[in-house]
Amino acid sequence: MDSQAESEFREFVDSRSLALRRTAYALTGDLDVAEDLVQGALVKLVRKWHKVDNPEAYVRRTIYNDRATRWRRRSLVREDSVESTPDRPVADAAGEVEARLDLRQALLRLAPRQRAVIVLRFYEDLAEREVAEVLGCSVGTVRSQTARALARLRVIAPELAADAALPTPEEASA
């Protein structure tokens, strides 16, 4: 890799690492696994840096694919990791924290593709077309997976819908 390409790669990593880690964390619910996924995706990217037109989409798709591979390899026993609550609760933000924890638990109960669609659409605020590109599927698949995931979230976490943490079907398609 020449010095200009190396400089461009370093700039990409510096500017996008935090956002990529947030996405990976939302997919996994585990900071260590998220960091491993991002690191692995960046290693794959650096090998193909000169060939990749859209490095962000490439890394996001690699993160999703690597995570999906781990889901497939996982045994049938499912464990949900739960972080302990803080020693000193923050009174002003308690409702927000509770809603975030509820949302996190609900997301972990979704199917992997549905979770990925929800994270990319609403957490990363990507357009349906961009989500389709990252996941390697059609826009119609993104729409149907979004609708199914939101419907499932309303069933498994009705408190989120009541608190307006979940978008309505009209808001989701906007």
pLDDT in tens, the chain (174 residues): 788 888 999 999 999 999 999 989 988 888 898 999 999 999 999 999 889 989 999 999 999 888 877 766 654 445 556 566 656 655 556 667 777 778 888 888 999 899 999 989 988 888 999 999 988 999 999 999 999 999 998 888 887 766 555 566 566 665
Question: Do 38 and 44 contact (CB within 8 A), yes or no?
Answer: no
Q: Domain extents for the chain?
A: 3-54+62-72, 94-173
Class of domain 94-173: mainly alpha
* Phi then psi dihedrals of residue 80, to 5 deg: -100, 120
Q: Which amino acid is at 40?
A: G
